[in-house]
């Protein structure tokens, strides 16, 4: 019979957690009560640094793919251009401590961070290097891309679950979200399971999208074949529970509960987990700070689970729609490293990680939560022919913050090219040892394997110089970061699609780091001549007073001398797509006739042709004039019947292929262009008073990712 006691672990419903664990003789979480108690007292010798057990929990931020050390934690401004890259370092708020300029918000919070620049796995494979980082043990024997449940060393979270489960939320002692770690073709590499420890020590793995409008985690309710526990006001809670479990024990499915079903009982017993998953309970201010993305909301969910009592929460960097079989998914920037960092990776990471640090600090959680931010390796010192960096496990960086970490310091260093460790060389088992030490488990702890043999939780040693209760220095200086360089992440493939932003057109040529619309020839707004080219104009559409639009043509400013437009001359308006992925692109824009109706009909429409083009760059310079390949092209009808400023819609649709389709059409970048070309024979002489242009407004691109196979092979 269940009994009510005065046990301090009593649930708010009025019965003790240990009574739930006793049901059926074995714990529904794979733990017996003696195991729970024994796990809390592991005799082991520890460094006398006063930091043993300072962390109650761990939030493990996993930047899958391998972030480049040169553009993040370990910039090399004195290295040659092909090594240092396009971005410069910035001063953080700690004197002498610099990081990459794409992390300006994090730079303001550097006093909370201990940055390590000397980690090595000397392995350049996602699976093998990641396995070592995630487990603390190097992969031994034949290289395998797949999970082997019987031989893999257990993921650190499974070891933590085995040795020190959460007393408050044991069902969620270790959590992995929001998806499996997947390589291309959904290969699930080793290092993310309980391995030979067995399924009972697997993390609570949540494959979910916390940014979804009706976000709900499967497994928070009993499966349909298990009758729910229904409360009845006429009966006592205790008698209802007893009757419910007695009926289950008599049923044929009593011994067939899978792990999620077992853990669902704990969720029934406590509302903590259910509340943790309800992001609507967060103030709008907090949700807005993390942003609307899957990644941002995953970090927010991770913080909520830590707050609810989870011991270790791993948040995996999210894959994007269409990023399968491309050459720069996640942080794996084999191509277009600079663009991926500036457009996607750093806007997401800089905003959300700085928000996470502030959020934990404001709630008093940072002092008891160890935060780890790391990937499986770094990137090559030298930039490759596609503007990317390749795999590099010989030296890379990571950062720690929170409980037991002395922030405001850098540990170790790499050589002048960021290629190999110079000082303070360390391997992943030392990070594992540091985590176990701070959690109060200890780096000399052991656990039994299936045969009862004691297995060392880690072979590493805690990184003593990183440990402490205060930052390494109390001095602070202003950070030199520029927030405008890294605005919060946007899903928009194009910027300024309605031409309303007060930004000038850029000249077509080497793209550099500036983003937005480019044109050629760009006609200056203060021009006094009747030039041929591209300009941003205001007005011209009665129902939208003050509306701005782009214009391609001539006569924007009457006056001066006649102009001559040679055969083949082009006015071009173009913008590079931000973060193109493999899939279908549906382009829509509106065009209209502008200027003088007669000049448009007799001159522009007669002597010029207009085309909308989706194209790919062929060179790293991204100069439309020096080499592109057209993917799709639509010719515009310029017959507007003398109707000015009446817009019509133009559409274009094209599917871009990935490596899996036998091509990689996005590898050098993708652009959209509207081209007005002088196509009639000979030269055209235009009088200064001739005014005609093609108006362009409201450009939109809808992207549909190619389908992904979501099968997980374990």
**In the CATH scheme, what is the code of domain 20-217+277-485?**
3.40.720.10
**Which CATH number among 2.60.120.260, 3.40.190.10, 3.40.50.720, 1.10.10.10 corresponds to the domain 506-705?**
2.60.120.260
3-class SS of residue 343: helix
Which residue stretches of 67-111 are H helix? 81-84, 104-107
Alpha-carbon span 428 to 121, nearest angstrom: 7
Alpha-carbon span 158 to 192, nearest angstrom: 9
Supply the mean pLDDT for the chain.
Answer: 85
pLDDT band at residue 257 using 50, 70 and 90 as cut-offs: very low
Which residue stretches of 70-203 are H helix? 81-84, 104-107, 126-135, 156-163
pLDDT band at residue 187 using 50, 70 and 90 as cut-offs: confident
Every domain of the chain with CATH number 2.60.120.260 lies at 506-705
How confident is the model over 479-532, as pLDDT tens digits?
999 999 999 999 999 999 999 998 889 988 765 678 899 999 999 877 767 789
pLDDT at 1 over 80: no
Alpha-carbon span 188 to 373, nearest angstrom: 21
Tell how strand 446-448 and strand 454-456 pair up: antiparallel
3-class SS of residue 605: helix
Residue 602 falls in which region: left (phi positive, over 0), alpha (psi -120 to 50) or beta: alpha
Every domain of the chain with CATH number 3.40.720.10 lies at 20-217+277-485
pLDDT at 659 over 70: yes
pLDDT for residue 195: 93
Q: What is the pTM of this model?
A: 0.85
pLDDT for residue 599: 96
How confident is the model over 375-395, as pLDDT tens digits?
999 999 999 999 999 999 999
pLDDT at 254 over 90: no
Paired tokens of 134: 């995630």
pLDDT at 301 over 90: yes
pLDDT band at residue 366 using 50, 70 and 90 as cut-offs: very high
pLDDT at 593 over 90: yes
pLDDT for residue 185: 67
Paired tokens of 313: 């929460």
pLDDT at 269 over 80: no
The answer to which of 113-117, 237-241, 338-342, 520-524 has the lowest mean pLDDT is: 237-241
69-87 mean pLDDT: 96
Run of H or E residues at 538 = strand 532-538
Paired tokens of 320: 């994007």
Percent pLDDT > 70 in the chain is: 82
How confident is the model over 450-474, as pLDDT tens digits?
788 999 999 999 999 999 999 999 9
β partners of residue 165:
none
List all residues 6 or more positions away from 55 whose beta carbon is below 8 Å from its beta carbon: 368, 369, 370, 402, 403, 404, 435, 438, 439, 440
The answer to which of 15-29, 80-94, 358-372 has the lowest mean pLDDT is: 15-29
489 in Cβ contact with 291 (< 8 Å): yes
pLDDT at 236 over 90: no
Q: Which of 472, 696, 710 is nearest to 589 (CA)?
A: 696
Paired tokens of 573: 């308006």
pLDDT at 19 over 70: no
Percent pLDDT > 90 in the chain is: 68
β partners of residue 572:
520, 675
191 in Cβ contact with 152 (< 8 Å): yes
535-561 mean pLDDT: 77
Paired tokens of 371: 């935060």
pLDDT at 707 over 70: yes
How confident is the model over 100-143, as pLDDT tens digits?
999 999 999 999 999 999 999 999 999 999 999 999 999 876 56
pLDDT for residue 33: 35
List all residues 6 or more positions away from 203 whose beta carbon is below 8 Å from its beta carbon: 155, 157, 158, 161, 174, 175, 176, 194, 314
β partners of residue 455:
447
Paired tokens of 459: 């072979």
- Enter the DSSP assignment of 563: E
Paired tokens of 661: 């389709």
Instruction: Answer with the residue of higher pLDDT: 256 or 537.
Output: 537
617 in Cβ contact with 628 (< 8 Å): yes
Residue 389 falls in which region: left (phi positive, over 0), alpha (psi -120 to 50) or beta: beta
Which residue stretches of 277-392 are H helix? 284-290, 294-308, 337-340, 346-362
């Amino acid at each position: 019979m269940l009994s009510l006691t005065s046990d301090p672990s009593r649930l708010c419903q009025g019965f003790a957690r240990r009574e739930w664990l006793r049901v059926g003789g074995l714990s529904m979480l794979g733990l017996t009560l003696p195991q729970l108690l024994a796990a809390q007292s592991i005799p082991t010798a520890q460094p006398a640094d006063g930091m043993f057990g300072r962390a109650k929990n761990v939030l493990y931020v996993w930047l899958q793919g391998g972030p480049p050390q040169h553009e993040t934690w370990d910039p090399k401004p004195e290295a040659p251009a092909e090594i240092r890259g396009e971005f410069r370092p910035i001063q953080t708020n700690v004197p002498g401590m610099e990081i990459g300029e794409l992390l300006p918000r994090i730079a303001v919070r550097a006093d909370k961070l201990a940055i390590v620049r000397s980690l090595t796995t000397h392995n350049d494979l996602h699976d093998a290097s990641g396995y070592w980082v995630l487990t603390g043990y190097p992969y031994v024997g034949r290289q395998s891309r797949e999970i082997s449940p019987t031989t893999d060393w257990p993921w650190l979270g499974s070891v933590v679950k085995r040795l020190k489960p959460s007393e408050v939320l044991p069902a969620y002692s270790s959590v992995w979200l929001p998806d499996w770690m997947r390589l291309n073709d959904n290969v699930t590499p080793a290092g993310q399971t309980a391995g030979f420890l067995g399924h009972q020590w697997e993390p609570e793995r949540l494959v979910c999208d916390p940014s979804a409008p009706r976000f709900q985690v499967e497994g928070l309710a009993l499966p349909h074949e298990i009758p729910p526990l229904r409360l009845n006001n006429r009966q006592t809670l205790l008698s209802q529970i007893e009757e419910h479990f007695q009926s289950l024990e008599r049923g044929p499915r009593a011994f067939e509960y899978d792990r999620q079903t077992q853990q669902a009982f704990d969720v029934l017993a406590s509302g903590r987990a259910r509340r943790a998953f309800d992001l609507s309970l967060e103030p709008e201010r907090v949700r807005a700070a993390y942003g609307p993305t899957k990644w941002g909301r995953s970090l927010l969910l991770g913080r909520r689970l830590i707050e609810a009592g989870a011991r270790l929460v791993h948040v995996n960097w999210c894959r994007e729609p269409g990023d399968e079989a491309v050459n720069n998914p996640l942080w794996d920037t084999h191509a277009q490293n600079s663009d991926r960092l500036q457009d996607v990776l750093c806007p997401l990471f800089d905003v959300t990680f700085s928000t996470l640090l502030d959020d934990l600090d404001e709630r008093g959680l940072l002092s008891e939560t160890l935060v780890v931010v790391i990937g499986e390796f770094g990137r090559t010192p030298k930039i490759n022919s596609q503007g990317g960096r390749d795999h590099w496990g010989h030296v890379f960086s990571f950062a720690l913050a929170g409980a037991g970490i002395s922030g405001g310091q850098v540990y170790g260093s790499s050589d002048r090219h960021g290629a190999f460790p110079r000082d303070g060389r360390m391997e992943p088992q030392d990070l594992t040892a540091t985590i176990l030490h701070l959690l109060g488990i200890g780096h000399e702890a052991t656990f039994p394997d299936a045969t009862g043999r004691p297995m060392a939780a880690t072979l590493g040693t805690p990184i003593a110089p990183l440990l402490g209760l205060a930052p390494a220095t109390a001095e602070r200086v202003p950070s030199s970061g520029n927030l405008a360089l890294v605005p919060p992440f946007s899903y928009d493939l194009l910027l300024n699609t309605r031409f309303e932003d007060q930004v000038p057109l850029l000249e077509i040529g080497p793209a550099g780091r500036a983003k937005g619309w480019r044109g050629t020839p760009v006609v200056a707004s203060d021009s006094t001549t009747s030039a041929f080219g591209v300009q941003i104009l205001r007005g011209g559409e009665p129902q939208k007073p003050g509306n701005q639009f782009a214009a391609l043509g001539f006569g924007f400013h009457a006056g001066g001398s006649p102009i001559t437009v040679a055969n083949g001359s082009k006015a071009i308006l173009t913008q590079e797509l931000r973060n193109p992925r493999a899939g279908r692109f549906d382009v829509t824009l509106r065009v209209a006739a502008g200027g003088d109706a007669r000049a448009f009909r007799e001159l522009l429409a007669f002597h010029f042709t207009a085309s909308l083009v989706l194209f790919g760059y062929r060179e790293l310079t991204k100069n439309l004039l020096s080499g592109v390949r057209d993917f799709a092209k639509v010719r515009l009808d310029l017959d507007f019947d003398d109707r000015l400023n009446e817009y019509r819609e133009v559409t274009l649709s094209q599917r871009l292929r990935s490596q899996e389709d036998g091509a990689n059409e996005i590898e050098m970048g993708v652009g959209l262009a509207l081209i007005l070309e002088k196509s009639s024979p000979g030269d055209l002489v235009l009088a200064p008073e001739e005014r005609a242009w093609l108006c362009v407004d409201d450009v939109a691109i809808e992207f549909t990712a190619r389908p992904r196979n979501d099968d997980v092979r374990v």
